[in-house]
Chain A
Amino acid sequence: MNVISTNIGQSVSRIDGFAKVTGQAKYAAEPHPPGLLYGVIVNSPIARGQIAALRDTEARKIPGVVEIMTHRNRPHTALFEKSYVDGLGVPGSPYRPLHDAEIRFNGQPVAIVFAETFEAAREAAMLVEVDYERWPHNADFEAALHQKYMPSKTRSNYVPPKSRGNAPEAYALSPVKVEGRYHLAPEHHNPMEMHATTVIVEDDGTFTVWDKTQGPQSVQAYLTSALSLSGDKVRVHNPYVGGAFGSGLRAQYNVFLAALGAKMLKRSVRVTLTRPQMFTHVFRPEAVMDIALGASPDGTLQSMIVEGVTDTSRFEHNMENIVVWGLINYKCPNATAGYTIAPRDTYTSSDMRAPGATTGVNFFEMAIDEIAYACNMDPLTFRLNNYSDTDAMHDMPLTSKALREAMVQGAQHFGWHDRPMAPGSIRDGNELIGWGMATGIWDAMFSPTSARARLTADGRLHIATAASDIGTGTYTILAQTASEAFSTPIDRIDIELGDSTLPECPTEGGSWTAASAGAAVWLACQILREKLFKALAKGKNIPAWVKQGLEQDNLTLEDGILHGMNENQKIVLSFQDALSLIGQDALEVEETAKPGLRGTISQMRKARFTHSAVFCEVRVDQELGIVRITRLVNAVAAGRIMNPKTAASQVRGAMVMAAGMALHEESLMDERVGRFMNHNFAEYHIPAHADIPDMDVLFVEEKDSEISPLGVKGVGEIGMCGTAAAIANAIFHATGHRHRNLPISPGS
């Protein structure tokens, strides 16, 4: 048992570790209410058209089948389209599952079978027969590029690029130039846990919904609005989430259909997607980016021109910030960028880990490597040469930017200074060895968040907020925060997350949870401490030494005990005794942390980013073209690090995903049917153990009191930004070939 309180910044092991290594942690598909029905979804094999006929007679003959729900027999749902817009919805017409006969994308649910057993539902789902009237569709990205457009209403987080100087003219005049078209294949999030929902219909008719989501309050609001349920009828739980990486930002069709089934049948329902069905909803958009860079021979950037397109569906306008990153991060007198989206007949693409920056930063950093080489300059030196201390696009000061330190420390750790400049110059037998580097940048966001702190008669401190821990370590860092703020040992603290009824917290994503929920917990604990002290000051029957301690301001809270002096003797009071002295069973506060707290400033006055410098070594088999990553070093400047152990895991995890992006991951569209065809782990390869070397993560010291109340920036996304470029640049250094398409195919 711990007796000392833990501090922010310590490498504490995850407090949810025991539950996870013993299999006790319950995920969305795992509660088992009595009378549970299993729902299996039937998906459309066509991309556009309508259902002409639907026969379920054979399917209904399977013993155990209870109902087959389609657009014809489904219960009433909300009338207006706007009721189906979820918390993180994008402009356009949201997809409404089983709304009518129209098919808008391949994989769209057309029916759901509910049965007493999973096996019966699965068998019956195969027997549902559907005839379709096919309409022409386009699922080809190249063809969609001809229809690219800028929507009249943009996504709320869209950052319009801002030009400076005269980029085309400066480019024309630049003595050194590089230009190229970069392409990113669509990628699917593929968390190991497939999206799933269990709806428990309680005796009073209310729904307890276990959903795989990053935002229980967002799903709660979506279900009540889309299904026309009253708000107090639905409660959403997600205490454990088996990864999400953005796939749980928007409510997916499984939760809608499960809740609709429960509404229709008044029975508890479980719907789990299959791995192939995981390829029928959100994905990282396919992208092209044209980058032209001009420089003077001394390695000074003169012009940057970036033009990018990402895909969206025909019914919603999904947008990403892909073109702005280089303009923000590099000093260069002339720069311009443009962005549009290209529609095709698929489901709407969506945010995947470090959306926008993953695409845009990596491509830009590949182009920077190319122009450094065109100037015959070491790529690290080139970056230091063109370093910007401000947000160069908005001409705004930054709260902090320790990127220079990250570059220097990362380079030193990696041994970069030994690198010969010429590509193809390091060999080991059949293998060419290459070293590459890149930098990363990501938003450091802080959103208003609420938390509750409650001290109970057993001396325990209970913290609650509707945040989600999707593997990010949120339980642990919030416990550390409370431990420090309330000076209480961590094993006397309970953290409750993942429940829509808890104090308000924005959907988990974009690396803002650590800064935001952390600040809310910190604030709640401070206020709770004040409340405790005030109650003691006002109370009757309070020992004189306590009163005196309060008056003289020498009553302290240390390691879960109140300390004071009584006639030169140290004396202590436990929380239990303190509560009984003030005659309370519990003491509770709920607080909201907002910008402004503790000297933090608003997004309008200073720009705010996390930075990193990534270094990579690859070995490329000369004959087979097979690429192996043998070393990866990431130096991260992310303000204060709450828990170096879990933070390093976050960064490493993103680097693994980035390795997939650089070398393996690619969802292949069969344009004829409009479907991603490699919809399983054998054909969509995510990095496995053998693909991943030991990776070193360094945290560079960065004090930033303006960014968030705890000086925290968040580390969930930064590992994606720059890593794929470092790998691509290393491959160039090994082979002398520039690859501008990700993933890079060996030998191509």
Chain B
Amino acid sequence: MNDVSADIPCRLQINGKTYAADLPPSVTLLDLLRERLDLTGTKKGCDRGQCGACTVLVAGKRVKSCLVLAVSIPDAEVTTIEGLSPNGQLHPMQQAFIEADAFQCGYCTPGQIMSAVALLAEGHTHSREEIREFMSGNLCRCGAYNGIVDAIEQVVAQQNRNHTGEAA
């Protein structure tokens, strides 16, 4: 009989660095980040895919890391909040969150920011309603929702300006 709990090799690219270790198959990507790699910027709010606090990017797409077993995505490229501003220079979304007061306690914030960054790439930012719809997987109990939408719109507007600027 196979031992179902025997460690399995895990290899990931996390924020540009290679991580390789043998892991029990039950370790989620979220727990790997928080408990084994000390990347505690990614938060746990429910551990079952219902709150979005654990949102990270896997191959550029937003993913709830509590629902992913670390060994199940070999060689995947993972970006966490710590990887968003690698040299201390804030990502425009992080800057916009500060300016728009898009958080209070800050606990949902890394997940909101990662989700918002992916949302920009997805292009679902045509109206406040659309932003709300596509951000609804990220709960905020402090109720910073208005500020989050403001922050996202601010970054969209900046990007549009930059694009028009480039075209001209």
Contact = CB atoms under 8 A, between A and B. Distances in A.
A652 B40 contact: no
A13 B35 CA distance: 31
B46, B103, B138: which has the most chain A beta carbons within 10 Å? Answer: B46
A694 B146 contact: yes
A280 to B, nearest CB: 15
Interface string A653-695: 1111100000000000000000000001110001111101011
Interface stretch (B57-65, B78-86, B155-163): B78-86
A681 B105 contact: no
A740 to B, nearest CB: 25
B166 interface: no
Contact of B97 (A17, A118, A657, A689): A17
A688 B80 contact: no
Given A20-B109, A119-B31, A656-B145, A688 B99 contact: no
Contacts of A654: 143
Contacts of A650: 104
Contacts, number: 179
Interface string A189-212: 011111000000000000000000
B14 interface: no
B48 A680 contact: yes
A472 interface: yes
Contact of A694 (B27, B128, B142): B128
Contacts of B40: 23, 26-27, 29-30, 32
Interface string A640-658: 0000011011101111110
A191 B133 contact: no
Contacts of A87: none
Nearest to A646: B101
B65 to A, nearest CB: 13
A26 B139 CA distance: 20
Given A21-B94, A32-B38, A192 B140 contact: yes
Given A650-B104, A652-B143, A17 B98 contact: yes
B53 interface: yes
B9 interface: no
Interface string B134-159: 01111111111111110000000000
A23 B26 CA distance: 25
B11 interface: no
B41 to A, nearest CB: 2
A194 to B, nearest CB: 7
Given A192-B53, A192-B140, A242-B43, A20 B106 contact: yes
Interface string B84-102: 1100001000110111010
A122 to B, nearest CB: 8
A196 to B, nearest CB: 9
A693 to B, nearest CB: 8
A687 B143 contact: yes
B35 A192 contact: no
Contacts of A245: 141
A680 B50 contact: yes
B71 interface: no
Nearest to A20: B106
B56 to A, nearest CB: 11
A16, A17, A657: which has the most chain B beta carbons within 10 Å? Answer: A17
Contacts of B42: 23
B138 A21 contact: no
Interface string B9-29: 000000000000000101100
Given A27-B107, A681-B50, A118 B144 contact: no
B105 A242 contact: yes
Contacts of A7: none
Given A22-B81, A681-B51, A191 B141 contact: yes
Contacts of B128: 694
A692 B132 contact: yes
A109 interface: no
A690 B26 contact: no
Contacts of B143: 652-657, 687, 692
B103, B132, B137, B143: which has the most chain A beta carbons within 10 Å? Answer: B143
B104 A193 contact: no
Contacts of A193: 43, 45, 105, 107
Given A192-B139, A245-B141, A692-B145, A471 B44 contact: no
A18 B139 contact: no
Contact of A645 (B34, B94, B101): B101
A118 B31 contact: yes
A13 B97 CA distance: 10
Contacts of B103: 14, 17, 20-21, 471
Contacts of A682: 50
Given A272-B44, A689-B132, A689-B133, A16 B106 contact: yes
A655 B142 CA distance: 10
Nearest to B147: A649
Contact of B146 (A19, A194, A692): A692
Contact of A14 (B44, B101, B107, B110): B101
Contacts of A29: 34, 40, 44
A466 B8 CA distance: 46
Interface in A34-67: 38
A296 B44 CA distance: 56
B47 A22 contact: no
Contacts of A143: none
B90 A22 contact: yes
A153 to B, nearest CB: 34
B46 A680 contact: yes
26 contacts: A13-B99, A14-B98, A14-B101, A17-B97, A21-B81, A23-B40, A23-B82, A24-B41, A32-B35, A32-B40, A119-B24, A190-B141, A192-B142, A245-B141, A471-B104, A471-B142, A646-B101, A652-B146, A652-B147, A653-B142, A656-B145, A657-B143, A686-B139, A689-B131, A690-B133, A692-B143
Given A14-B101, A19-B106, 13 more contacts: A22-B81, A22-B94, A118-B31, A119-B26, A123-B26, A240-B105, A242-B105, A242-B107, A649-B147, A656-B140, A689-B131, A690-B133, A695-B146
